[in-house]
Amino acid sequence: MITILGTGRALPARCVRSDTFDERIGKPVGYLAETTGVAARYVCEAESQIDLAETACRAALEDAGVAPGDIDLILCGSAVPYQPIPATAPAVMQRLGLADGSAAAFDVNATCLSFLTALDTAARMIATGQATRALVVASEIASRALPWDRQPEVAALFGDGAAAAVVTKATTGGMVASLMRTYPSAYDACSLGSGGTRFDYHNDPDGFAAHAWFGMDGKELFRLASRHFGAFVDDLLARTGWARDDVDLVIPHQASPAALTHMIRQTGFAPDRVVDIIAEHGNQIAASIPFVLDVARRTERMPEGTRTLFLGTSAGVSFGGLAYVA
């Protein structure tokens, strides 16, 4: 098992209220905030994805009381990388000033669940002696490639941010269980087509440009979650031996206000046990879960012994969860 030694988060300087976008899409002031439930989000201007990652990582290291040189594994769990090649994690390692060869650094991508899968990967590497202290970070610039012209209500859900955690082998508490399941029948329900090999910019620049926008079929995602997510949580709890009432805190992916409401209804967790920050931050893709984790820790919602469930969904479509005792 692993335990979390410290966490940190980062935001761009600019906060943009939803009212700012209403006129742009020809709607009355207040439309997007009321329709989506997201009143504000932070948007990068001068900041890069690596800038956000560095700030979050340094905050996590400080919280953990660990120097950068004490880290021997860096995992970047972001849905969208800094660039296709090389991975983002080596750029973070370089920015933190770690010496060549002092750590392994690579990316783990499961879109919105990337941080959880990276955390699970770190746990397995620490358990097998391949690492001692790991730094896991998710950094997202979600405000780009959004479909403001076609799906403004979808575009308004997203915001930028980063968060990180330092983990090591647990002596007490720590990670109890994890579970991930994938439902590829909804592969195209949440997608950004360009940026990989599917559309070749050099041979088909128009096709590349046409698929360079994020798109989401909310109804299909809702249908899939309605059918399977409740049973998924049941199976995760079965691995822990916990009943629902044993769970003190739920740290969910901040997909949308509607998705959080639906998740609470499906799973039966009391709303006051679910950490919800989406109204003022939006969906930060893979950074959502660790960002909420840092908020929970720094607002004293995770005292020692807190039984915590991390839960989320991702494009693909996958469900993921991790049980943890603080």
Cα angle at 106 between 100 and 109, to 5 degrees? 165
Residue 26's contacts (CB-CB under 8 Å, 6 or more residues apart) are: none
Q: From first to last of its 326 residues, what are the pLDDT tens digits of the chain?
A: 899 999 999 999 999 999 999 988 999 999 999 999 999 999 999 999 999 999 999 999 999 999 999 999 999 999 999 999 999 999 999 999 999 999 999 999 999 999 999 999 999 999 999 999 999 999 999 999 999 999 999 999 999 999 999 999 999 899 999 999 999 999 999 899 999 999 999 999 999 999 989 998 988 998 999 999 999 999 999 999 999 999 999 999 999 999 999 999 999 999 999 999 999 999 999 999 999 999 999 999 999 999 999 999 999 999 999 999 99
The pLDDT of residue 305 is 97
Give yes or no for a contact between 282 and 130, defined as CB atoms under 8 angstroms apart: no
Q: Which residues contact 101 (CB under 8 A, 6 or more apart)?
A: none
pLDDT at 185: 94
pLDDT of residue 218: 84
> 228 catalytic, yes or no?
no
Parallel, antiparallel, or unpaired: how do β-strands 318-325 and 307-314 relate?
antiparallel
Which of the following is catalytic: 57, 109, 190, 253? 253
User: Beta strands 161-169 and 133-140: pairing type?
Assistant: antiparallel
In the chain, the DSSP E strands lie at 2-10, 14-17, 40-43, 73-76, 104-107, 133-140, 161-169, 174-182, 190-191, 215-216, 249-252, 307-314, 318-325
Distance, CA of 313 to CA of 260 (rounded, Å): 11
pLDDT value of position 1: 85
Respond yes or no on whether the N-terminal peptide bond of residue 86 is cis (omega within 30° of 0): yes
**pLDDT value for 297:** 98
Closest to 54 measured CA to CA, from 8, 100, 112, 85 = 8
Residue of 44, 57, 281, 283 with catalytic role: 283
Q: Are 293 and 165 in contact (CB under 8 A)?
A: yes
Element (H, E) at 262: helix 257-267
CA distance 232 to 213: 31
- CATH 3.40.50.2300 is the classification of domain 176-325: no
SS3 of residue 174 by DSSP = strand
Q: What is the pLDDT of residue 6?
A: 99
CATH 3.30.70.890 fits 2-172, yes or no: no
CA distance 251 to 286: 13
262 is catalytic: no
Give Dmax over CA atoms of the chain in angstroms: 58
> What pLDDT is stored for residue 107 in this prediction?
99
CB 82 within 8 A of CB 140: no
Per annotation, catalytic residue among 109, 112, 190, 281: 112
CB 286 within 8 A of CB 79: yes
CA gap 140, 88 in Å, rounded? 11
Is 283 marked active-site?
Answer: yes
Domain boundaries, the chain: 2-172, 176-325
- DSSP-derived letter for residue 99 is P
Position 311 scores a pLDDT of: 98
